[in-house]
Structure formats: structure tokens, C-alpha cells
Amino acid sequence: MKYRKIAGLFVLGLLVGCSTTNLDLSSADNHKAYAGSLTLTWQYPKSAEILLNGKRYVGEWSDRRCITPTCRGEYESVQGIHRSHIRRGAAKLLADDNSALNCEWVSHFKEYIGICSSSDGMQYRLQSEPSPPGEKSDA
């Protein structure tokens, strides 16, 4: 019995350590045009990686709980106890050529809405599925 518990905890540790979230990036002016993807890992340190237009950007990300309606953004209308699951996150990422991407988002459970801005002024929409509240998916 003791060995089963230890084996179960080991497998659970592997699953938790490998947890990632993948988000799509699209051009800010054309939401249907796929531009790249952001991968967030949940194991400490919280690392982030973006593959965008053939470049790989890497860095770390952080998040915090949203308390104010302004912080909640698109999720402002979430009711009651579910508000405690709304978080605001950010990542600062660099490519090998020292070009930078700064990303900010708001999340509710596994739904993410945000934007990434590059050092050359380009902006990319950051979103997971399903679509944000009030918006229908075109898929």
C-alpha cells in the first residue's frame, strides 16, 4: 500500500511538472491570421516561449489575482466566487538577436485574452479557446 502511494505521487509529480498552456498569437488587425504560439509552463521558474515569424522568444512570466473591475478587463462581468480565478499575467521575452516581446493578458481558468507588443512596434493578439465573453468563435 505504501509503495502504491509513493508511485502515485511520483506520477502526479511528473504530470504537474509537465503542465503547459498553449495560446495562439494573431495579427492585431486580422484576428484570423495565425502568427505564432505562446507556451507557458507552470513549473517553477515559470518559463514562456513564443515562436513568432520564425523567431524563438524566451523568458519568464508572472501573474497575480485581479481584485478590481479594471484589472479584470473582459472578465469584469464574472459573478461572485468565480472572480477569485481571474488573474493578470505578463511575460518579457527576448530572441537571440535581442529583439523583445512584452505580453500582457487576463485569464479566467484556461481562457486567456491579451496582447503582445514587439520592440519594433508590432502588436499581436493573444487568445486561447474558447472565445472571450460576448464574442463568437468563427471556427
Across the 139 residues of the chain, what is the mean pLDDT of every consecutive 10-residue run? Answer: 48 47 71 73 84 90 89 82 88 94 91 90 81 41
Is 90 a domain residue? yes
Is 59 a domain residue? yes
Task: Say how far apart CA 48 and CA 30 lie, in whole Å.
Answer: 24
Q: What CATH number is given to the structural domain containing 90?
A: 2.40.128
Is 25 a domain residue? yes
Three cell numbers, residue 76: 469584469
pLDDT of residue 40: 82
pLDDT of residue 131: 45
Name the residue range of residue 57's domain. Answer: 20-127
* Count of domains observed in the chain: 1
pLDDT of residue 9: 40
Is 9 a domain residue? no
Strand locations in the chain (E):
20-27, 30-41, 47-52, 55-65, 86-94, 100-108, 111-118, 123-127
Is 52 a domain residue? yes
pLDDT of residue 72: 84
Task: Say how far apart CA 27 and CA 33 lie, in whole Å.
Answer: 6
pLDDT of residue 54: 84
